[in-house]
Amino acid sequence: MSQSQVVSFRASGHFLNWIEAQRLEGESVSQAAQRILREVSGTSTMSTDLSTQNNNSVVSTDLSTTVAETVDKAVADRLDPVMERMAVIEERLGKLSA
């Protein structure tokens, strides 16, 4: 029997903007975050590691840290090109104002 639990966290700034940008049609921000976490965990060995543990066991800090690092990297990989484009646009706007 699978155990489930509500997990919630606050997101703001670039992280929230990134999650909102990943939303599918009709999907809430929370649903998008849940889908993203599932996708990220599905591409690594973490899902296999979790399925072999007892349902009542506590997920280790190391695994939590790995998930956080994976999500951070995925966010950074997506945001970096956007931030670079914004810097170029801001530079051009600055030249127009001068």
State which amino acid sits at residue 71: V
Give the whole-angstrom CA distance, residue 91 versus residue 96.
9
pTM value surpassing 0.75:
no
pLDDT, one tens digit for every residue, the chain (98 residues): 567 787 788 888 888 888 888 889 999 998 888 888 888 777 434 444 444 443 334 444 455 566 777 788 888 888 888 888 888 888 888 888 76
Q: Residue 33 burial by CB count (10 A; 0-12/13-18/19+): exposed, middle or buried?
A: buried
**Strands of the chain, DSSP E:** none
Q: What is the pLDDT of residue 10?
A: 83
